Amino acid sequence: MDHARQLHDKYFEQADRILSGVPAAQAFQARTGVHKVYGAAGVVVTALLLVFLNIGAPLLVNLTGFGYAAYASMAAIESPGKEDDAQWLTYWVVFGLFNVAEYFTGFLLYWIPFYYPIKLGFLIWLMLPASRGAERLYLAAIRPMMLQQVTAAPRATAPAAAAAAPSSSAKTAAPAAAAAGSKAANSKSD
């Protein structure tokens, strides 16, 4: 029993610290008198119950996939480091491809029992920095497939590109004109 109490206290303190920075949680506690951690836990449990009962599950799961990821992406953009930017860009690539695949297979996925709880777990796995699921999936499956397509594309278009290539005098004139244009633009901005 003491171990359970220690775990409760540990996670309660962590959640309290996190929710202390959320104005809505502070307002909830002030208005209702219920501690903000218990309010947040009630919201999470209710949402999970609705997903498991398939009541508004598509909306709740997609709000999780879009909402939290959009918030974290904006926070990553505003942060000075670039590692979190790469994590969220990777998430959006994987999430976009997943949604395209889901659109075309939705009529089959509907028949899978507990599809929305599975999807919610998958999206959370993709998002969590500890699991780095989006990065793993991207590196294991998406990147090799895309690199294969990118390297195959120039070979397929090489004959057409060679026929449409400008003459050698036009090739040297274009960079010179671009350089002159950028010098003129720089002198106007001074």
Count of beta carbons in the 10 Å neighbourhood of residue 104: 9
Predicted confidence (pLDDT) at residue 96 exceeds the cutoff of 80: yes
| Whole-number pLDDT of residue 1 | 74
Number of domains in the chain: 2
**CA-wise closest residue to 98 among 133, 150, 68, 129:** 133
Task: Indicate whether 176 pLDDT > 60.
Answer: no
Residue-wise pLDDT for 29-44, tens only, equals 999 999 999 999 999 8
Give residue 171's pLDDT: 46
Question: Is 129 in the same domain as 61?
Answer: yes
Q: Can you tell me which residue has the tokens 């008198």?
A: 33
Q: How many other C-beta atoms can be found within 10 angstroms of the C-beta atom of residue 22?
A: 12
In one-letter notation, the amino acid at residue 133 is: G
- CA 26 to CA 105: how far, in whole Å? 42
Residues 61 and 15 in one domain: no
Q: Is the pLDDT of residue 178 over 90?
A: no
Its pTM stands at 0.67
Tell me what pLDDT residue 162 has: 56
pLDDT in tens, 56-77: 898 999 999 999 899 889 999 9
Domain identity same for 46 and 83? no
In this structure, the answer to whether residues 25 and 81 fall within a common structural domain is no
For residue 82, the model assigns a pLDDT of: 84
Whether the per-residue pLDDT at 164 is higher than 70: the answer is no
Question: Higher model confidence: residue 88 or residue 165?
Answer: 88
HEC per residue, 13-65: HHHHHHHCCCHHHHHHHHHHCCCHHHHHHHHHHHHHHHHHCCCCHHHHHHHHH
Q: Are residues 76 and 47 in the same domain?
A: no
Asked whether residue 114 falls in the same domain as residue 72, the answer is yes
Mean of the pLDDT values across residues 162-175? 50
Residues 103 and 71 in one domain: yes
Structure tokens at 128: 């969590």
Whether 82 is covered by a domain: the verdict is yes
Last residue of a domain, one of 53, 68, 85: 53
**C-alpha angle 48-61-86 in degrees, rounded to nearest 5:** 120
Containing structural domain, residue 43: 8-53
pLDDT at 173 over 60: no
Q: How confident is the model at residue 181 (pLDDT cuts 50, 70, 90)?
A: very low
Q: How confident is the model at residue 123 (pLDDT cuts 50, 70, 90)?
A: very high
Question: Same domain for 39 and 73?
Answer: no
